[in-house]
Amino acid sequence: AQSVAQPEDQVKVAEGNPLTVKCTYSVSGNPYLFWYVQYPNRGLQFLLKYITGDNLVKGSYGFEAEFNKSQTSFHLKKPSALVSDSALYFCAVRDDNYGQNFVFGPGTRLSVLP
Amino acid sequence: ETGVTQTPRHLVMGMTNKKSLKCEQHLGHNAMYWYKQSAKKPLELMFVYSLEERVENNSVPSRFSPECPNSSHLFLHLHTLQPEDSALYLCASSQDWQGGPGANVLTFGAGSRLTVL
């Protein structure tokens, strides 16, 4: 079965500092990995994905993530955080052995302090 | 907003009521999903429809009944719900995973906030 862990419920960083939101996963087949962001009273918005190829994936709003197969991780990063990045971030995985079942992590609340 | 529209945005219902949530996507996608988002819990996949055929049903109680009349519309019919069913219900769509660079990306609606009294 597939699963996703986001070990931190909350991450706080100062504006202008780099941020990292952690994600680890477990799948039996090849992983398709995703990051989504949710602002208050909104649905989830796609940020970036890893399917195959380059381990460093760049996405929307200056975010990037690095796929690390040996550590089964897909951490989200941004070199310089903005207050407007404050939101709930979800990591998700789809196992290519399991059809269209996208499994989401519990979410990490990012707070960027001015 | 995102190409996926959900109505109503807020719904309050008693345990004996029957209501429906509606989702419409304008993206030409061929798969649609219902997710449940409860406080302090991960998103729970409820149902997946691909090409209007239900392909996933994650042990959802029968008081939730999905309907997908065509590839653009998805409904969630609700009846005799329980207070613990109160949650944000999110609809999403995607291009079937075999479908090229846009594949696998879920586009979500803003959600329907359901409160069961």
Q: Is the pLDDT of residue A42 over 80?
A: yes
Q: Is the pLDDT of residue A13 over 90?
A: yes
Average of pLDDT values for B55-63? 82
Residue B81: which region, alpha, beta or left (left: phi > 0; alpha: psi -120 to 50)? beta
Q: What is the pLDDT of residues B70-89, one digit of tens each?
A: 989 999 999 999 999 999 99
For residue A43, give the nearest of B31, B96, B110 by CB distance: B110
Task: Write out chain B residues lying below 8 Å of A46, CB-based.
Answer: 105-107
CA distance A2 to chain B (A): 13
For residue B77, CA distances in Å to A65, B13, B20, B67 come to 38, 13, 4, 8
Average of pLDDT values for A55-80? 95
More confident residue, B50 or B3: B3
Phi and psi of A61, rounded to 5°?
A: 60, 25
Three-class secondary structure of residue B84 per DSSP = helix
How much of chain A, in percent, has pLDDT values that exceed 70?
A: 96
Q: Is the pLDDT of residue A65 over 90?
A: yes
Asked if residues B74 and B49 have their Cβ atoms less than 8 Å apart, the reply is yes
With CB atoms and an 8 Å threshold, state whether A43 touches B45: no
Average of pLDDT values for A66-80? 96
